[in-house]
Amino acid sequence: MKYPTEHKHIVSNLLDGKFLIYPSPLFVKIQEQEDDYKEFFAESFGYELKIETEYGYLISDKNSEKGTRDFVLFLAVLCRELDYNGTNFREQIELGTFDISETEQLLQQSSKWEILEKTSAANSKGGFEGFINTWAYKNVLTKTDKQFKFTKAVKLFFEFAVNIANEKMKEEYQNK
């Protein structure tokens, strides 16, 4: 395989748990050489490279990924609170911008805050803003000084949450 000049950057970003988001040149490169990169990550690291329409990421067989769980809980509680406030949460998540301190306040006032208190969303180094910085580093969020916005990669977390909900409903149906 002839690797592009961005190869090391692509590999280090993906191994760091970052999402490559369209229209990033790195995303375009892995999309152009999708089969080669899938083989490279499978053979070199035992990881599966997933390339969706608008983002790419690695999947490992690590079952103890608490960060992802924490992010899904954060997203679930945020969506719940936005919905309670009469906001179309899906539209707000996909298109809106959030003030960091206002979002933290909204979550702390939630009746579900006790769930988040046990996660990195509440206990991250640097507090809630540190949590936002972590997910901005992974390209799931973009962050300015006082605000953040979700990237296209948030769709994966919505899918993950829907799959969990469907499994729970299936279990409950089978147990009746």
If DSSP states are collapsed to H, E and C, what string results for the chain?
Answer: CCCCCCHHHHHHHHHCCCCEECCCHHHHHHHHCHHHHHHHHHHHHCCEEEECCCEEEEECCCCCCHHHHHHHHHHHHHHHHHHHCCCCHHHHHHHCCEEHHHHHHHHHCCCCHHHHCCCHHHHCCCHHHHHHHHHHHCCCEEECCCEEEECCCHHHHHHHHHHHHHHHHHHHHHCC
- With 70 as the cut, is the pLDDT of residue 64 above it? no
- With 80 as the cut, is the pLDDT of residue 98 above it? yes
Residue 169 has a pLDDT of: 74
Residue 153 has a pLDDT of: 96
Percent of the chain with pLDDT over 70: 97
Mean pLDDT (the chain) is: 91
Residue 63 has a pLDDT of: 57
Residue 68 has a pLDDT of: 85
- With 80 as the cut, is the pLDDT of residue 69 above it? yes
66-171 in CATH: which number?
Answer: 1.10.10
Range with lowest mean pLDDT among 19-23, 89-93, 128-132, 167-171: 167-171
The residue-averaged pLDDT of 44-53 equals 96
The residue-averaged pLDDT of 70-90 equals 92
Taking the domains of the chain in order of start, what are their residue ranges? 7-59, 66-171
Give the angle 130-160-47 at the CA atoms, nearest 5°: 80
Greatest mean pLDDT among 12-16, 111-115, 168-172 lies in 12-16
> What count of residues does the chain have?
176
